[in-house]
Every structure is written in C-alpha cells, then in structure tokens.
Amino acid sequence: MNLSFRISKIKKRTTIVVLSLLISMGLNISLLATSEAQYKAAYMSSNHPFQRFLLGLANSASPNNVNTLLVTAFVVTVLLTTIKFHGPRWFNFATLLVSALISTYSLLALSFQYTGTWDLVVSSSFPILGKALLKWMSLTFFLFQLAKLPLIFKKNILLLFSSDKPISKNKKTSFWRFFFLIFVAWFFYLIVLFPGSASWDTLNQFSEFFGKRISWVYPTAQYLLHSGQSTISDHHPFLLTLYYGGLIKFGVSLGSEKIGLFLITLIQTLYTIAIFSMSLVTFETLKLQRKTINILFYFYCFFPLFPLYAMYQVKNSIYGPTLLWFCLLLINALIDNNQLSKTSWRIMMVVNLLLQVISIKYGFYVAIISSLVAILVFHHNWKSVLFFMIVPVIAFRIAYSSLSTTLNIIPGDPIEMYSIPLQQTGRYLKYYPNDVTKHEKRVLSKMFVIDNIAGAYTPEVSDAMKSGGGGSPLVYKYPTVTKKDMADYKKVWFKMMFRHPGIYLEAFFNQTYEYFNLYPETNLHSQNLAFDQFPLNVPKHDKNQYVFHTSGHKFSSNYSQSNKFGRNIIINLLNFLVSIPGVSLLFRGTSYVFFALLILSLIFANRLNLKYLTVFVPILLQLGVCILSPVNGSQRYLYPFIYCGPFLFVLFLLVIRTIDRRTSNGMKSS
C-alpha cells in the first residue's frame, strides 16, 4: 500500500513537471522560425505534418529562450501545485472565457505584428496551427490560474480594510490636505514643463481659433458646409477650442501668450488634483485601512504619468479625470442613497455631465448610457436620476448642437465614426481589387479615389482612408461626396462583407489588437517629445507652421528647448521605471484594461447585484471607444483607464469583500 502510494505520488509529480514544461514551451514558443535557413532545410526534407510540427517546436525553442523557459516552468509548476481552488461554476466559466478571449487577441496580435495578417494563427497548415494552438492553450491556462489568485488570497486582501468606522471625520480637512500635498509633489513638473505640453490636435485647435482653417488635416464633406462659416470646426469639441483660444487671448492681453498657455496647464492640473483628492476622501468612507489610503495617496503623488497627463493640453486629459469624478459620484450614491437628494451632489453631477458632453465627442454617449443604467439601480430614487442625470445630458446635447449652428461652427464629418468599415473596405480593395461588381465599383468611386486606396491603406491607422492627417493622397472624396453617396456606400459595404468575411475580420483585428494585447509591439521609451505615452513637449514642426496673430501680437507654440536639466531628470526617471519588470506594466494602458476585465469577470462569475455595474459601465464603455478609434493602441484613448486605476483597485477590493461576505453568510445558513 505504501509502495503504490509512492508510485502514485511520483506519477503525479512527473505529470506536473511534464505539463509545466509543455505549458512553458507554449508560453515561450515563437510563432516564427528563429533560424530560418536551417529550419527550411529540415522542414522541406520532411513530408509528415506532425514531424514538421515537432521541427517547428524545436526551432522555435531557441537557446536564447532557455532561461526564460526554465523560469516560466518553475512559475507554472508553482501554479499547478499550489492553486487547488475550485471556484463556483459561474466563476470558472467567466474567468475561462475572459482568459480565452485575451489569449485569442494576443495571438492574433503577434501574427499581425510579424506578417500584417493572421496567417500565423489561422491556417490549414498543421505545423503552423499546432504551434498556435499550443501557445493559445498554454496562455489561456496560465491566465485562468492567475485569475483564481484574488479569491484564494481574499483573506489577505481583506486586511486592506478596517473594521473600524470611516477614517475621516472632517472631509473638507482631508480634501485640502490631500490637495496641497499632491500639488507640492507635482510642482517640479509644473515648473519644468512650463508653459505646458500639447498634441498635434491641440495645435490644430489653436489654428482654428486664430483663423486658420486646416482642411488638409480634418477634411469635411462639402455638403455639410455653407457660406459664412467660421474657421472653427467641431472635429474636436468646439467649446474646448473656444476655451483654449480664450485663455491664450487673455494671456496675450496680459503681455504674453505663455501666460495663457500656462493657465490652460495650471487649471487642468488643479482640476485633476481636486478629483484625485476627492477620490481619496471617498476611499476613506469605504473603511479602507490608513495604510491602504496612504499607498493610493503616494501613487497619486509619485506616479509620473499623472502629472504628465494632467499638464498635457489635450481633450483626453480633461475627460479622464472627469470620468473618474463621475464614477466617484455614483459610488457615493451607492454608499448613501440620501446623496441623490442632496443639493451638493446634484450640482456636482450636473456640472460633471456638462464637462463630459463638452470635453470629448463621445462623452454624450457614455453619459447617457451610464445614466440609463443608473436609473435601473436607483429605481427608488428614479426622479433624481431622471431630472439630474438623464434630462441634463439630453439638454446639454441639444444646447451644444444649437450653439454650434448659431456660431456657424463647421460640423464634424460623420465619416469620423466609420474607422472600422473604412479599414475593411481599404483591405478588401487592396487584396481583392478585381472581386468587385460594376455597381459596387460605381458606388465606391463616388466615395473614394479607388486607385489611391491600395497605397493609402494603413492597417493600424484609418486617417488616410478619410483623407485626413495631412500629407495623404486624396482617398475620401469629401469635395464631391453627398449624403446619398454615404448611404449607398453602407449598403455596398454590407454586401461585400459576405463575399470575403475573413478580410473584414482581419481588418477589424489589425485595427484594434493593441488594446487587448499581452505582447505589446513597442518598447516604452521617453524622449523630450510630445508622445501620447510620455508627453513632455509640443510636437516638432516647421517654425512657420503654427504662427498666430491676435490683437497686433504675433506668436507661435513650438517645441521647447528650455529647462533641459529638469526634462532630463524626468526622462531618466521614466526610462529607469519602465525598465523594471512589473513596474513597467503600470505605464501601459492595456494593463488597466486587463485589470478591468478581471473585475468584470468576478462580478459576473459571482452574480453580484447590479450596483457594481453602475460604477463600472462608464469605464467599460471606454473599450468600445478604443475599438472605434482611428489609431490602433493609442495611449490617449486609454487615459480614462489609467486615471481610474486606483478607483479600479478599490472597486476590486469591494467586489472581493462582497464575495467573502456572501460566502460567509452561505456557510452560516448551511
């Protein structure tokens, strides 16, 4: 009996070791050959598919990967031997589904990075498909095991809470203490980056305000225009353009445009600090331990992306903290339903919704959908939600449109919403130019210069298909296109999809994969430039490109050579931090996306009530925004996730606490 037990134990351990090595190989295997010449020679000499598959495995496990393979094998072994948690059926299903989806997207991302197609994953070749399947199963298993950790260690996680009453007795005192200390921590950035950093979009908004129409960057269909219109367009929210320009004019009246530019930076920074301080006060009411609050406070103070983004003159840096504020108002209402009846809460909610509508074009849709979900949760106070959330959002939208017409603002072109369909059409015509009927070609030729599509189509950026971005050949016929042409194009687009659905799927994944990719294509690196990842300056451009005149004053907003010593300190700090394994994940917006998906799976897996979705929906809707965005993997569209990072962490703690209480109550009742 003792001998059979030992044999059984040896078999179990051997199985774990073999399985760990296999999974480790799957995680580390390359979808491409590493020594192409040797591999091809061996590959061509073999006729058996399985033998070719084994050759592919051997070739992909390069010597350079041995250390990584061993480390991964050790980690997987630990996961296999220590994680014996068997969650509820719903938990297993939800986490396995999310793990499989992330793995699928990540493998497709690798294939698109290497080849521009999905041929390294979707293939009839057994060696190629076999490697992809092994990697997919290994990655799915690995993520599935990791997803169990929060529930396994929930008792440790719950130590972050205190059983005592809320920490803060005086919310105003706490708010101003946090506000002052965060401002002090960020003051160095404010001085070094004076008068502020800006994006190309913001410089173009400045141009529009000061009388320069930039139709070569933001082309608008002529049927939308009429005589007497201003140079300001609604491609970016026109009220934000007026706000930027108004502050610059005010600065000029005081003697320098730099005063106005710095005011934009300062107001944005103070606003962000105020929202962060408000979040810390809210976290205190949730009975978190003082140590937990302090960790979040230090994160706000010393995580470099927060001051960099707060001082970045771009619409996303206003919308990010505004969305966080919206979530805080909702969670405060969940904690205390009486908040819905308080004048202060109602005023803040109305102001917040106004900022959402005017700061970014899709803000209205996020606000209205979130408000409709809120009315389901707060059904006992439905009047408050209706009159102080839904009605204001609709009223602001109507007022925004009316004011746009009154001020003769150039409307935004509806084509801006069609990044995915345009990319699908572009890919179709690039790879199947002859598989188009005469009717389809006639309809498409009214929308596009078909001969220019193959050269202009860029799989990860849709601007060229809209004839936007500057410097692109004419593709979208905005000077002659009509509303009917757009309607006809939609019908043709739909019909063409059924002829080559694979090409449509490829175009979709190629335009969106970086937002859900575990294997990011670009390495993080900071420079004294205006990257959305690390904005430290104004974009470099010709010195005469952005020269403005107002009130007899001539000025430009250009690349800054000032404060080089301070800028180098920031650059070196950033490059040091992103070189640290694990820490670098905090600088990627996709990390926060994966964390949000983990929370979502926990909510659904444990069938928690709708209240968590109320505060989660506004954040979750940002995924739709990312998918519809014109640029694959743009960090700017991930700003809301990064701004809401600490909030997501607290929401995660609340979900774990609720799961624990439900489990404890279930055990008591049984």
pLDDT in tens, 498-534: 999 999 999 999 999 999 888 776 678 888 888 889 9
Residue 229: exposure state from Cβ atoms within 10 A (0-12, 13-18, ≥19): middle
pLDDT at 29 over 90: no
Average predicted confidence (pLDDT) for the chain: 85
pLDDT at 44 over 50: no
- Specify the pLDDT at position 63: 40
Residue 340 has which token pair? 């819905």
| Identity of the residue numbered 189 | Y
Whether the Cβ atoms of residue 98 and residue 597 lie closer than 8 Å to each other? yes
DSSP string computed for 598-663: HHHHHHHHTT--THHHHHHHHHHHHHHHHHHSSBTT-GGGGHHHHHTHHHHHHHHHHHHHHHHHHH
**Range with the poorest average pLDDT among 390-404, 438-452, 464-478, 647-661:** 464-478
Whether the Cβ atoms of residue 157 and residue 150 lie closer than 8 Å to each other? yes
First to last CA, the chain: 37
- Specify the pLDDT at position 62: 46
What is the distance between the alpha carbons of residues 625 and 464, in angstroms, rounded to a whole number?
A: 19
- Specify the pLDDT at position 66: 53
Cα-based distances in Å from 161 to 20, 277, 279, 424, 606: 36, 19, 16, 49, 21
Residue showing tokens 């600088």 = 587
pLDDT at 41 over 80: no
Q: Which helix (H) or strand (E) holds 555?
A: strand 553-556
DSSP 8-state secondary structure symbol assigned to residue 341: G
- Specify the pLDDT at position 39: 42
- Which residues does 412 contact at the CB level (< 8 Å), separation at least 6? 220, 233, 234, 235, 361
**Range with the poorest average pLDDT among 392-406, 421-435, 571-585:** 571-585
What is the distance between the alpha carbons of residues 275 and 457, in angstroms, rounded to a whole number?
A: 41
| Identity of the residue numbered 403 | L
Whether the Cβ atoms of residue 272 and residue 310 lie closer than 8 Å to each other? yes
More confident residue, 337 or 643: 643
Residue 200 has which token pair? 């190309």
Q: Within its chain, how far is the Cα of 384 from the centroid?
A: 31
Query: Whats the size of the chain, residue-wise?
Result: 670
**Helical pair 589-605 and 645-669, crossing angle rounded to 10 deg:** 20
- Which residues does 314 contact at the CB level (< 8 Å), separation at least 6? 198, 199, 201, 202, 535, 636
pLDDT at 64 over 50: no
Q: Within its chain, how far is the Cα of 182 from the centroid?
A: 25
pLDDT in tens, 189-246: 999 999 999 998 999 999 999 988 776 677 888 888 877 788 899 999 999 999 999 9
Residue 323 has which token pair? 């969305």
Q: Which residues are 461's β-sheet partners? A: 458, 631
Q: How many C-beta neighbours within 10 Å does residue 32 have? A: 16
What is the distance between the alpha carbons of residues 440 and 431, in angstroms, rounded to a whole number?
A: 16
Strand spans (E) along 153-216:
197-198
pLDDT band for position 272 (50/70/90)? very high
Residue 614: exposure state from Cβ atoms within 10 A (0-12, 13-18, ≥19): buried
Whether the Cβ atoms of residue 98 and residue 601 lie closer than 8 Å to each other? yes
- Specify the pLDDT at position 212: 82
pLDDT at 146 over 90: no
The residue-averaged pLDDT of 350-372 equals 96
Residue 637: exposure state from Cβ atoms within 10 A (0-12, 13-18, ≥19): buried
Q: Which of 66-75, 452-461, 640-649 is the most confident on average? A: 640-649
In the chain, % of residues over pLDDT 70: 84
- Specify the pLDDT at position 172: 84
pLDDT at 57 over 60: no
More confident residue, 161 or 464: 464
pLDDT band for position 278 (50/70/90)? very high
Whether the Cβ atoms of residue 513 and residue 632 lie closer than 8 Å to each other? yes
More confident residue, 275 or 563: 275
**Range with the poorest average pLDDT among 115-124, 423-432, 490-499:** 115-124
Which is nearest to 201 in space by CA: 409, 470, 467?
470
Residue 102 has which token pair? 């992330």
What is the distance between the alpha carbons of residues 507 and 448, in angstroms, rounded to a whole number?
A: 18
pLDDT at 622 over 70: yes
Q: How many C-beta neighbours within 10 Å does residue 490 have? A: 11
| Identity of the residue numbered 254 | L
pLDDT at 561 over 60: yes
What is the distance between the alpha carbons of residues 114 and 128, in angstroms, rounded to a whole number?
A: 14
pLDDT in tens, 372-383: 999 988 988 999
Q: Which residues are 535's β-sheet partners? A: 530
